[in-house]
Amino acid sequence: MNRAERRRLGRLEAKQHKSGRAAAARRSAAVRKLEQFGGVSVLGALAAMAVPLSQPSDAKEDRARVGILSTIASVAVRVCDEQGPKATVREINELLPAFSSWHPTRLEQPHPHRAHAMLASIVSPQAEAQRSILDAYTRTYEILTTHHREGMPDAHDWAEYFGVKLEEFMLLAFGVGTLAIGNQGLVDRRSFTAELAAPLAATSDDLQAALNTHLFATWDEHQHTAKAVPVEPGREDWAFNPLMTKPVVVHSHDSPVGLCPFPLMALQRGTLTSLYFDGRNIAGEQFAGELGYAVEDYVESVLRSLVDLSDAACALHTEIVYDKSQRKSADFFVVFDELVLVIEVKAARQIEHLRQGHQTGVTDMIKKISKAADQIETSADLIHQRHGSFTHIPSDRPIRGLVVTLEPWPTLGVLGTVLCPIGATSVPTHVISIDNLERIAQTPAIAATIGGDISGAYDQSRLVSTITHGHEATPPQSTFFDYLDHLIDQEWG
């Protein structure tokens, strides 16, 4: 590093430090004001603000605001007493700027992925508000039951853990969330009566026990859970929030009515976003690996729904085991008229450092996705070389790669992959989540269900372009993230 570069870095660090101190001071002042209120009244005010944002709406940018409100809730649980002066919506609104202002820490070092890190930390608190809950419930049940693998909890394990069947617990979580939406955040446990339990195998007592154990908690219990997980000051946006595991706050476990300020958290309690951790509690570390195989099986079922509605020229082939060492190819090959799509499935979850915008988190993300991209490239090479185990895959057309992830990796969508390709592979590869793959697969299925003409819905050229986002073999020389990196230098350099 020459003298000019050292001076430039010094100016950047000084400006970052000054800006960071100002942001930290604003946040600290807001926290001090927040801790003067009673915690339950803070959650009540937050419920008045968050519940309307949980209503079905096309305004996803408004629903994403729930992320800021949940940060305030997480801080309140840590610093407020249960009872105290009442907080009003107006007073909480006055604190929003301090909690929503974001300072791009971790950007002082000009590492090559700092733009990715910045975007990841901005998007992560908002990501869950953008997903379809109903789709998530269907996907969760399919993966955990229909595609159950050895080493994952079975029906008996789930029932023993929750006190009710898995599907009954999912319905219970969904019921809590919908009750909260319809009652300004209030959940009356008496709604879960014998009449509700009648169509289920569970009794009313079973449902109440499941509520108390897995969905309801007192203020003291929430606070104890929150304080057991240290949080770096200023990083509360990405910290563990105890309301995600037990979304309803009650005065005592005998209280008939509880407060659920964020119905979305209750709804998510019945999805794989939350049940993943229950699965690990039951089955241990092996759960994550076995879940990966179950997710692959689920993706195969989605791909088959596409292929089954197509013409004979479109075919799906599964993983190929080759050579004496029993090496394995990418997970799937979809043969279209105009190209071969090589697919690798990744069920790995985002680590906390990625959500926080640490360089180590971005490095971990790129390592995981690049491994999938390398697997795709190896399979493509074997197709071109006409390896004996790959001769049923045509080599007379272009090959494109697709990495399908269990959960969205926001910075690896169109911008992250098309404009800033991951890895150094020769096969243009795109990254999409299962959510997006499902939506693509639903188009011909919906057309067929309503008796329509599926030829327009299943036009291979349009489908391939949708999946690959029109990948060209040569990536652009000047990428979006290069440009963003330049803007960061201008603003803080």
Report pLDDT for 257. 92
* pTM of structure: 0.80
Report pLDDT for 117. 64
Radius of gyration of the CA atoms of the chain, in A = 25
Q: What are phi and psi of 248, to 5 degrees?
A: -115, 130
Report pLDDT for 159. 95
- Candidate from 40-49, 89-98, 112-121, 137-146 with smallest mean pLDDT: 112-121
Placement of tokens 């399979």 in the chain: 379
Report pLDDT for 69. 86
d(CA 91, CA 108): 34
- 107-131, pLDDT tens digit by residue? 445 555 666 666 666 666 566 666 7
Report pLDDT for 162. 96
Identify the CA nearest to 44 among candidates 9, 8, 80, 11. Answer: 80
Q: Select the more confidently predicted residue: 469 or 45.
A: 45
CATH of segment(s) 286-492: 3.40.91
What is the share, in percent, of the chain residues with pLDDT greater than 70?
A: 66
- Domain coordinates in residue numbering, the chain: 3-126, 129-283, 286-492
- 444-483, pLDDT tens digit by residue? 544 444 444 444 444 556 566 666 654 443 333 344 445 4
d(CA 294, CA 55): 32
DSSP per-residue letters across 350-384: PPHHHHTT-HHHHHHHHHHHHHHHHHHHHHHHHHH
- pLDDT reading at 282 higher than 90: yes
d(CA 456, CA 446): 12
pLDDT bracket for residue 58 (50, 70, 90):
very low
- 300-342, pLDDT tens digit by residue? 999 988 777 655 468 899 999 998 889 999 999 999 888 899 9
- pLDDT reading at 230 higher than 80: no
Q: Select the more confidently predicted residue: 103 or 219.
A: 219
User: Is the Cα torsion angle 248, 250, 252, 257 positive or negative in sign?
Assistant: negative
- pLDDT reading at 212 higher than 50: yes
